[in-house]
Structure 1
Amino acid sequence: MTFFDEKGNEEFRSYAEILVSAKKVLTGFRNAGVQPKDKIIFQLKDNQDFVTAFWACQLGGFIPVPLTVAPTYKKINNDVKKLSNAWVMLDHPRIISDAALKPDLDSLNSMFDDWKAETVSINDLIENEEATEIHNCDKNDVAILLLTSGSTGMPKAVQQPHINLIRRSAGTSIFNKHHKDDVSFNWMPLDHVGGFVMFTLRDTFNLCHHMVAPTNYVLEEPLRWLDIMSKHKVSVTWAPNFAYGLVNDRIKTLKTDGDWDLSNLRFILNAGEAIVAKTARLFMSNLLKYKIQPTAMKPCWGMSETCSGVTFNHDFLLENTSDEDPYVVVGEPIPGFEIRITDSKGNPVENGETGNLEVRGTTVTIGYFNNDKVNKESYTDDGWFRTGDLGILNGRSLIIAGRKKDEIIINGVNYNNAEIELVVDEIEEVETSFTAVCAFRENNTNTDKIALFFNPKNPDNESLKSLIGKIKEKVIQSIGINLDVIVPVEKEQIPKTGIGKIQRAKLKDQLLAGEFDTEIKKVDLLLQNNKTLPNWFFQKSSW
């Protein structure tokens, strides 16, 4: 494996060397009193530390629980809330961090009355002799807990046993022809199922060269993604839709062509959020001159509950797709996995009809930890898992038509969040990948309204006033709907998951809680809306 640090420095470590380090950490865990089936919450910034700690857990029979490291522990934020809630839900497990982060985690007892978490430092644990005894696990033992949803409330913990992780790695390798000679590059966070289970574990299964970089290293300069793939002759990589948009935007600013050679790049997985055909097509068009294989783009679908990606489209081409395609085909399932589309009564629908996506097979979770109510709701009587996604079957191929909870219905007409967001993102003055649309309902009203959140490149009043007018006009022309509330925000105000997926539900909750009242007031004043006193009222006068 090759690990990049925040400055782009590289360190190669063989799988054998990682095993030695993991055995040392295992000894440290045991000395700290950790027992088989104990849960360990991960708060690890460094990717090498994360990988080492994960394998130490597997060797000892412990259950890792990866969680995003908070931007700060000095005040309560969404990541701190999620950590606190997970610690309570999992019955107060130990936390592993690095030495620098440990004091911040220990200080949380001043924020939470019942916080008495024991935090161990991987820097201390690794200063031990290698363990000689390895835990003998059962294939059906839980290997990892993947926390999903509930960032501001109690999260759900997806249980995935060893056999599911192995079958997913084997199934996707067979279906996609992954092998030991691949050079694979991931820059998504390892606390996300896509970064670790989908890529790191699969590559370890195949014993290929796996490369991983900190997410921020690429976000700071998206073209570093291309630099690394060209330099190291990368054959396999991935990212969610927003990342392809970032590269497209940067390429547009280049005064001269780059010198990348992407001829080895045969597999670019596109997953993790709604896939926009226009964005993926432009990415491929931009890179054809750098010898990228025309068949490289692979739209995919999966979730934590399925051990990440389990359907793949091998036929995405510029020739058979269009910028106007409302949805992107995400392909056929891997061996051992089944999909079906049902109506509201649970009956399978005809090919081409939209319905509820249900799945079953060798990678589907055995259930959520200690959550009988949700488990009962999540499975049908005949054993299919309800994904919460809307899907369409085209032969054996799956099309994702959105999520039920993301649907916007105004006056009986359905609208797609991603379509509206794309229309706004295409406006030059809007910062790409920081646009979100959600439906909300005010008290004592009978219908939903639509709120748009976006980050303007130029926030001065005159520019903002002009931009808001342009946004409203374009959305009406393109979608045929009026935006009820428009909220210009800073980038930091758009909540995202570790892989950059915007959390619309969280924005909706914040909106209803009044957290954006200041921004809305500013827009009302700019536009002289009827519900706001005119700007002159607030100016000083002589009376």
Structure 2
Amino acid sequence: MNAAQSRTMVAKNLFTVNRTLNSVKQSSKYASVVIRKHSVWTEDRVIKSPYKEVELPNVSLYNYVWQNLDRWPERTASVCAVTGRGYTYEQAFRLSNRFGANLRTKFNICDGDSVAVMLPNLPDFPLIAMGILAAGGVITSINPIYTAHEVQRQLKMSVAKAIVTLPEIVPVIKEAFKIAKINIPIIVVRTNNNPIPEGTALFNELSEDIHTDKSVLRQVSRNPNDICFLPYSSGTTGLPKGVELSHRNIMSNCEQINDPLLSMHNETTANHQDCVIGVLPFFHIYAATVLMFHKLSIGAKLVALAKFQSETFLKTIEKQKTNILMVAPPLILMMASHPASTEKIFEHVDVVCSGAAPLAASDVERLFQRTKRDIEFRQGYGLTETSPTVSLSPKGSKRYEATGPPIGSTEIRIVDSDLNNLGPNETGEILVRGPQVMRGYRDNPQANTESFTADGWFRTGDLAVADEEGTITVADRLKELIKVKGFQVPPAELESLLREHPSVNDAAVIGVPHQSKGETPKAFVVLKDGHKCTERQISEFVNEKVAAYKHVDDITFIDSIPKSAAGKILRRVLKDKYC
């Protein structure tokens, strides 16, 4: 098939995309830049964005991502960093549509139904995500290293109607089914010639079935305010909660980072295609929005790295001529110190963007010592609840520790403990309002009341300071989450497991600095009277129930847990006394 025939076929298949986006493609508003001339600080001490207001087409995220597909059908959409197995944009569109149609016809997935995706970064991941959206479903992503205990909780809370995973993960999922007393279809992705587990369906067959009736997709009816993505986050405290992100939330965030003064990508043309490594997990909001959905919408090449290994990651940067690196602080630290990290590795890298946790300017400088040049470096701030980006340092910024002012259509307040607005150079909690802020936590009115003010501002639980220009520097976290390699570890979850041990009377968990992980959990345990137990026994009891990044290997036995009059654990007291 030549290029002309390929473009014709894609154009014929885009029955929903072209119908809704013809008028949008004629608009020049996407390229307009309007920069505020007045101060970003209002008289009421609210920080307004200096960037253009975001305007969105009245479509779903599915239509938004595919809107310019006819410009790059033969370009690579996703490819495996190790095997080279991958898909062109034309193949990704066609296969994801067939998968979506089969979700509706063979698995009875209806508009608004949740479909769980428990996969590492595979080139198939974007196809599966887009297929779920094509079917009118909601993606609920699960960390593939989760235990059965963790999986069953999310399956029940999300009311998932099916799950997509790897054959080797099926035993964990079936154990989760037993715990939760549920039974839903399991769809597996075959990456080799091994047989698939009995009783499962094969994604490869569902997506490649040429007899699939794709006309059922015309029955899908989703509007921008409907939920499309349901990741689970611990918010400011407690156990994981379903974060309801709408099509509008994620599309807004994609458009916000498209601003010409903020964008980190280049136009896909006959002579150029950006290359981005998918090393951050696609099941996490940072990679889901900023890497997967956004990069598909601009025709970039996604290189999927299923399992992180330092040397493989570095070699992939060089081999793929990667020009955009989207990473988290632990990767910055690794690249700045690994023996194989050389000037040649980063030869084609134009921009590095760090997110998920604060990063010091000195760490960036150490990276530049490896690259032998000052690569464009950007730092972003955001949360799962904000799709995720709230602020991003602009092009050319040399303030490496800062995350810039709020992005387009976004407002920020820095407040004290009584929610009174603070001014420039005063440290307080960040409150956010904008089109990327979640609709709320699923089926959790108490958490929503605690996380939103009466007038609709989202409380991030993060401490920051903003200067006279509205540039934000994140100082610390009010919330108690521990960030291990960018992943959120809620102390409450580990404390609950610790207290389940027959010899434990009480427990508290805090995050302590770790050279390679950023932070790691440290537990304080009070034993029951007359009981004896070792650190190793307690660690094994907890660690077999949680993913590896949540493991508790640092335990201190104490006589009592310091608590406030209201019974809240005084974690700062523990840090000051023992750390």
Say yes or no: TM over 0.5.
yes
Cα distance, 1:191 vs. partner? 0.6
Choose the corresponding residue for 2:383, options 303, 309, 313: 303
Choose the corresponding residue for 1:106, options 158, 174, 186: 174
Measure, in 1, the Cα distance between the counterparts of 2:458 and 2:120: 33
Partner residue of 2:406? 333
**So what's the TM-score if we normalise by structure 1?**
0.69
After TM superposition, list the pairs within 5 Å mapping 1:178-197 onto structure 2.
178-181=265-268, 182-197=274-289
Structure 1 residue 262 corresponds to structure 2 residue 346: yes
Measure, in 1, the Cα distance between the counterparts of 2:204 and 2:557: 44
Partner residue of 1:394? 467
Measure, in 2, the Cα distance between the counterparts of 1:495 and 1:387: 29
**Quick one: which amino acid aligns to residue 384 of structure 2?**
S
Runs of 5+ unmatched residues, structure 2: 1-75, 188-200, 269-273, 483-509, 529-534, 560-579
Partner residue of 1:83? 151
CA contact (8 A) 2:80 2:305 kept: yes
**Alignment CA distance shift 1:497-1:317 (3 Å):** farther
Give the secondary structure class of the aligned counterpart of 2:231.
Answer: strand
Measure, in 2, the Cα distance between the counterparts of 1:380 and 1:101: 41
Partner residue of 2:355? 271
Partner residue of 1:161? 246
Higher relative contact order (CA 8 A, sep 6+): 2
CA contact (8 A) 2:253 2:387 kept: yes
CA contact (8 A) 1:185 1:237 kept: yes
Partner residue of 1:529? none
Encode CA deviations 1:236-288: one digit per residue, 9 max, x unaligned: 1111111122223323xx6xx84616344222111112313332221122112
CA contact (8 A) 2:465 2:474 kept: yes
CA contact (8 A) 1:241 1:280 kept: no
Measure, in 2, the Cα distance between the counterparts of 1:354 and 1:54: 39
After TM superposition, list the pairs within 5 Å mapping 1:270-289 onto structure 2.
270-288=354-372
Cα distance, 1:234 vs. partner? 2.1
Measure, in 1, the Cα distance between the counterparts of 2:546 and 2:169: 22
Partner residue of 2:320? 232
**Alignment CA distance shift 1:434-1:38 (3 Å):** same
CA contact (8 A) 2:121 2:305 kept: no
**So what's the TM-score if we normalise by structure 2?**
0.65
After TM superposition, list the pairs within 5 Å mapping 1:373-522 onto structure 2.
373-395=446-468, 396-406=470-480, 421=513, 425=515, 432-433=516-517, 436=520, 507=552
Structure 1 residue 132 corresponds to structure 2 residue 215: yes
**Alignment CA distance shift 1:439-1:354 (3 Å):** farther
**Alignment CA distance shift 1:96-1:227 (3 Å):** closer
CA contact (8 A) 1:184 1:237 kept: yes
Encode CA deviations 1:99-129: one digit per residue, 9 max, x unaligned: 454354234445x162434323324533533
**Alignment CA distance shift 1:512-1:157 (3 Å):** farther
Choose the corresponding residue for 2:431, options 350, 354, 358: 358
Relative to structure 2, which stretch is displaced further, 143-152 or 179-188?
Answer: 143-152
Partner residue of 1:23? 97
Give the secondary structure class of the aligned counterpart of 1:377.
Answer: helix
Give the secondary structure class of the aligned counterpart of 1:353.
Answer: coil
Choose the corresponding residue for 1:45, options 102, 120, 130: 120
Measure, in 1, the Cα distance between the counterparts of 2:90 and 2:186: 28
Measure, in 1, the Cα distance between the counterparts of 2:224 and 2:170: 33
Encode CA deviations 1:151-188: one digit per residue, 9 max, x unaligned: 99852111111111111111102142333333222211
**Alignment CA distance shift 1:443-1:390 (3 Å):** farther
Partner residue of 2:262? 176
Partner residue of 1:94? 162
Measure, in 1, the Cα distance between the counterparts of 2:161 and 2:408: 36
CA contact (8 A) 1:40 1:93 kept: yes
**Alignment CA distance shift 1:272-1:113 (3 Å):** closer
CA contact (8 A) 2:226 2:246 kept: yes
Encode CA deviations 1:419-470: one digit per residue, 9 max, x unaligned: x726xx3xxxxxx3375365858699xxxxxxxxxxxxxxxxxxxxxxxxxx
**Quick one: which amino acid aligns to residue 311 of structure 1?**
S
Measure, in 1, the Cα distance between the counterparts of 2:144 and 2:447: 27
Cα distance, 1:94 vs. partner? 2.1
Encode CA deviations 1:43-74: one digit per residue, 9 max, x unaligned: 2235233211111111111001010113xxxx
Measure, in 2, the Cα distance between the counterparts of 1:358 and 1:508: 35
**Quick one: which amino acid aligns to residue 83 of structure 2?**
N
Choose the corresponding residue for 2:298, options 197, 203, 206: 206
Q: Tell me the C-alpha RMSD between the 2 structures.
A: 3.8
Cα distance, 1:493 vs. partner? 6.3
Measure, in 1, the Cα distance between the counterparts of 2:558 and 2:156: 25
Overall identity of the aligned pairs, in %:
18
Partner residue of 1:345? 418
**Quick one: which amino acid aligns to residue 101 of structure 2?**
T
Measure, in 2, the Cα distance between the counterparts of 1:281 and 1:4: 31
Measure, in 1, the Cα distance between the counterparts of 2:419 and 2:204: 52
**Alignment CA distance shift 1:314-1:442 (3 Å):** farther
**Alignment CA distance shift 1:442-1:83 (3 Å):** same
**Alignment CA distance shift 1:329-1:245 (3 Å):** same
CA contact (8 A) 2:464 2:472 kept: yes
CA contact (8 A) 1:300 1:311 kept: yes
Partner residue of 1:9? 83
Measure, in 2, the Cα distance between the counterparts of 1:486 and 1:435: 20
Measure, in 2, the Cα distance between the counterparts of 1:508 and 1:34: 42
Number of equivalences: 423
**Alignment CA distance shift 1:150-1:486 (3 Å):** farther
**Quick one: which amino acid aligns to residue 298 of structure 1?**
R
**Quick one: which amino acid aligns to residue 305 of structure 1?**
E
Give the secondary structure class of the aligned counterpart of 2:454.
Answer: coil
**Alignment CA distance shift 1:316-1:344 (3 Å):** farther
